[in-house]
Amino acid sequence: MTQTLKTKVLIIGAGTGGYVAGIRCGQLGLDTILVDGGDGLGGTCLNVGCIPSKAIIHAASKFETVARAADGGTLGITASKPAIDLAATVAWKDGIVRKLNGGVAALLKKAKVKVINGWAEFSDAKTCTVKTDDGDIAITAEHVILATGSEPVELPFLPFGGDVISSTEALALDKVPNRLVVVGGGYIGLELGIAYRKLGAEVAIVEMADRLLPLYDKALTDPVAKWLEKHGVELHLGAKAGSFEKGALNVTDKDGKALTLKADKVLVTVGRRPRTKGWGLENMGVAMAGPFVKIDDRCATSMRNVWAVGDLTGEPMLAHKGSAQGEVVAEIIAGHDKRFDPVTIAAVCFTEPEIVSAGLGPQEVEGRDDVITSVFPFMAIGRALAIEAGDDGGFVRVIASKTDHRILGIQAVGQHVSELSNSFAQMMEMGAVLEDVAGTIHVHPTLGEAFHEASLRALGHAIHI
């Protein structure tokens, strides 16, 4: 027998966009049902993406530090040769995920959000049936928030399965592969490829573009390329991957020459696509923008009282974007006058070294004579040198208007620069000018001093260079 429920707000998808929308709806007193049919509470980010990948990356960096100490010593520290029990590392990572899952569940319960585990399928814009282990549940809602997220792109000639894996499987291996070939030189492939190189795997990267991380300018990516070269990562740029047969990946290099790369595992990271299939989107009558659901600055779709947030709505596919959209939609439904109109959404690559970008980059201002561009190297920052973060070519770059000094963009590359991303975004969101950063007393010794000095340099009077 089918159970029938009615609710004010129905949210499909429990990722960072969906569960945050649910919590905020609950806080605002809205009767809310959240349907979780994917990876679990927290979605891709918490379960098989952002959080577990950063845990593995952290463990890999710890392992590399001990390995360096065993290989002739570092910073006066020596150690015995380390070993990695990857299954134990993955179990530790899984413990972090479970803890965070429990935290999300507790927050939703506190907000009085009803969570249903099952797969929803819509028959029209406001009606769906959820298939659960205990039977079907028919739900009708006044408002629907679509937050179904995204999924890895599968190549037809390299289908996932066996030794051909996506990032999900790469975060759950029980041992380090002797040879790992990564297809795709974007941020996901590089983050995981670098982590596995630190853990001892021989790593090769196959990328169709003529350089890595093609969405970023070369100055930002050069320090990453230097790390890869220094650590023996094999790069095949301008190359095309083919089939995987008998433990080897077929590749065509930039000159059209056929190569075979031996591999224990082939990690395919050629992008992600919105999850639009299998839940009745075609029955909802919403307009599309290419592969994405089309929304306005209120995250409203073309169907009245149907909203969409997160990866489903297009680039940038970032967890923090989805969360911010989820909050906005909840407040709009509750009667608040809100818009999703950020000045910038900062993005981070957790490579070695890390990359941060917020606002306009050099590509967007190329040829303009009305901007100031200022770069300050970490090699001139005491804190960076003290934590071995100053010798990898890292820097902070500020781009500002020449006329009013309004900050238009900020980028950085270097160890631990992900922690500067919120300062960058905050300054831009507040409409800061160079004088605002210059006039803010920055704590010494910190990496953030490079932001201060870059702004001073743009004004013509950097102190420490």
- Per-residue pLDDT tens digits for 134-143: 999 999 999 9
Rounded to a whole number of angstroms, the CA Rg of the chain reads: 24
Average pLDDT over residues 76-82: 94
Question: Rounded to an integer, what distance in angstroms lies between the CA atom of residue 76 and that of residue 314?
Answer: 49
Pick from 360, 425, 415: which is nearest to 388 by CA? 415
pLDDT for the residue numbered 39: 81
Determine the 3-state secondary structure of 254 from DSSP. Answer: coil
Residue 3: pLDDT over 80: yes
Average pLDDT over residues 287-299: 98
What pLDDT was estimated at residue 85? 98
Average pLDDT (183-208) is 98
Confidence bin at 7 (pLDDT 50/70/90):
very high
Question: Rounded to whole angstroms, how far apart are CA atoms 366 and 383?
Answer: 32
- For residues 235-256, give the mean pLDDT: 97
C-alpha–C-alpha distance, residues 120 and 273, integer Å: 19
Core vs surface per residue 315-346: b (16+ CB within 10 A) or e: eebbbbbbbbbbbbbbbbbbeeebebeeebbb
Concatenated DSSP letters for 208-246? Answer: SSSSSSTTS-HHHHHHHHHHHHHTT-EEEET-EEEEEET
Task: Give the pLDDT band (50/70/90) at residue 73.
Answer: confident
With bands split at pLDDT 50, 70 and 90, how would you rate the model's confidence at 38? confident
45, 326 Cβ separation under 8 angstroms: no
Q: Hey, is 142 helix, strand or coil?
A: strand
Per-residue pLDDT tens digits for 372-424? 999 999 999 999 999 998 889 999 999 999 999 999 999 999 999 999 999 99
Average pLDDT over residues 152-160: 97
| pLDDT higher than threshold 90 for residue 181 | yes
User: Which run of H or E residues covers position 150?
Assistant: strand 150-152
Q: How confident is the model at residue 364 (pLDDT cuts 50, 70, 90)?
A: very high
Distance CA 397, CA 410 (A): 6
Catalytic residue among 231, 336, 444, 464: 444
Amino acid letter, residue 283: N
Give the ranges where 76-186 is alpha helix by DSSP (H).
86-110, 167-170
Average pLDDT over the chain, rounded to whole? 97
Told to judge if 336 belongs to the known catalytic residues of this protein, a careful annotator would answer no
Is the pLDDT at 153 greater than 90? The verdict is: yes
Q: Quote the pTM value.
A: 0.96
Is-contact 35 13, C-beta < 8 A?
A: yes
- Position 1 scores a pLDDT of 73
Q: From CA 119, how far away is CA 136, in angstroms rounded? A: 10
| Cα first-last separation, the chain | 74
Indicate the DSSP class of residue 377.
E
Tell me how crowded residue 8 is: count the other CB atoms within 10 A of its CB. Answer: 15
Structure tokens at 390: 């100053």
Reply yes or no on whether the pLDDT at 233 is more than 90. Answer: yes
Q: H or E element: which one contains 205?
A: strand 202-207
- Convert the pLDDT of each residue in 95-131 to its tens digit: 999 999 999 999 999 999 999 999 999 999 999 999 9
